[in-house]
Amino acid sequence: NAGVTQTPKFQVLKTGQSMTLQCAQDMNHNSMYWYRQDPGMGLRLIYYSASEGTTDKGEVPNGYNVSRLNKREFSLRLESAAPSQTSVYFCASRDRANTEAFFGQGTRLTVV
């Protein structure tokens, strides 16, 4: 039972570099989310996707783009990384009833 899988687990980027964080779920969930977690700030929603082909901004979307490639996969892209984007990123998915969300193990990103 894989659940929600995120890759990579760790990444160090230089300022200005780009990268894509990958997320895949095998629970046939419609909804997927990207959060960032910073000390003292909890989890803040970056983007979410209600279903394949739709995406919406969350609380902190600036500097990020997302793609809902298909029902299973939801990627997060940093086009030009900044030190302020140093964080732990979590992907989550949720079923149509919008009840419990399942989380991946996180990606720890450092931008130097």
Partner 1 sequence: AQSVTQLDSQVPVFEEAPVELRCNYSSSVSVYLFWYVQYPNQGLQLLLKYLSGSTLVKGINGFEAEFNKSQTSFHLRKPSVHISDTAEYFCAVSRGYGGATNKLIFGTGTLLAVQP
Binding site for partner 1 (CB under 8 A): 30-31, 33, 35, 40-45, 48-51, 56, 58-59, 90, 92, 94, 96-101, 103-106
Distance of closest approach, residue 6 Cβ to partner 1, in angstroms? 9
Distance of closest approach, residue 18 Cβ to partner 1, in angstroms? 25
84 in the Ramachandran plot: left (φ > 0), alpha (ψ -120 to 50) or beta? Answer: alpha
Q: Give whichever of 17 and 103 is closer to partner 1, judged by the CB atom.
A: 103
Q: Where are the alpha helices (DSSP H) in 19-79?
A: none
Distance of closest approach, residue 104 Cβ to partner 1, in angstroms? 6
Q: Give whichever of 65 and 108 is closer to partner 1, judged by the CB atom.
A: 108
If one counts every other C-beta atom within 10 angstroms of the C-beta of residue 80, the result is: 11
- The amino acid that residue 57 corresponds to is K
Angle at 59 between CA 58 and CA 61, to 5 degrees: 70
- Sheet hosting strand 4-7, strand order edge to edge: 4-7, 19-25, 74-78, 65-68
Distance of closest approach, residue 105 Cβ to partner 1, in angstroms? 5
Q: Give whichever of 17 and 37 is closer to partner 1, judged by the CB atom.
A: 37
Q: Give whichever of 59 and 79 is closer to partner 1, judged by the CB atom.
A: 59
